[in-house]
């Protein structure tokens, strides 16, 4: 697997872990981590290697969805930190904005990975 394909695949894994972490925050009431898109490894990579990555049609949608994913996560974290776990749970629920953004981001990353791997 190429470095590019591996990095893209790792983004899928990392964002699955992010979603799990947010759900755990609802159970514990603790959200002691940052949600900034520029702080996660995938976000850093999207910016650092932007010149090369922009040659792929999936780059811009992934970049934009990634930003939106982290903004939605930030709102959930903010609510948890302020003790409003029910409101955070509503934002994280299936069919909500966060879940829709997360699903679209994952689909777009997988499609990008398929292109890099020569599957499409």
CATH code at 18?
1.20.120.30
Q: How many domains does the chain have?
A: 1
Q: Tell me the whole-structure pTM to 2 decimals.
A: 0.89
**Cα–Cα nearest to 35, from 25, 27, 50:** 25
pLDDT over 80 at 90, yes or no: yes
pLDDT tens digits, 54-85: 999 999 999 999 999 999 999 999 999 999 99
- pLDDT band at residue 1 under the 50/70/90 scheme: low
Helix axes 85-92, 59-81, angle to 10 degrees: 160
Average pLDDT, the chain: 90
Predicted local distance difference test score (pLDDT) of residue 41: 84
Question: Can you give the residue range of the structural domain that contains 34?
Answer: 3-116
Predicted local distance difference test score (pLDDT) of residue 38: 82
Find tokens 């029910």 and name the residue.
86
């Amino acid at each position: 697997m190429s470095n590019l394909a591996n990095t893209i695949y790792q983004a899928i894994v990392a964002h699955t872990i992010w979603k799990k972490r947010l759900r755990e925050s609802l159970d514990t009431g603790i959200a002691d981590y940052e949600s900034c898109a520029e702080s996660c490894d995938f976000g850093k990579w999207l910016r650092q290697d932007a010149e090369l990555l922009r040659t792929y049609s999936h780059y811009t949608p992934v970049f934009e969805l990634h930003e939106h994913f982290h903004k939605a996560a930030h709102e959930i974290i903010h609510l948890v930190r302020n003790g409003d776990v029910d409101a955070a749970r509503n934002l994280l629920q299936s069919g909500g904005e966060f879940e829709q953004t997360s699903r679209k981001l994952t689909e777009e990353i997988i499609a990008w990975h398929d292109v890099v791997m020569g599957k499409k």
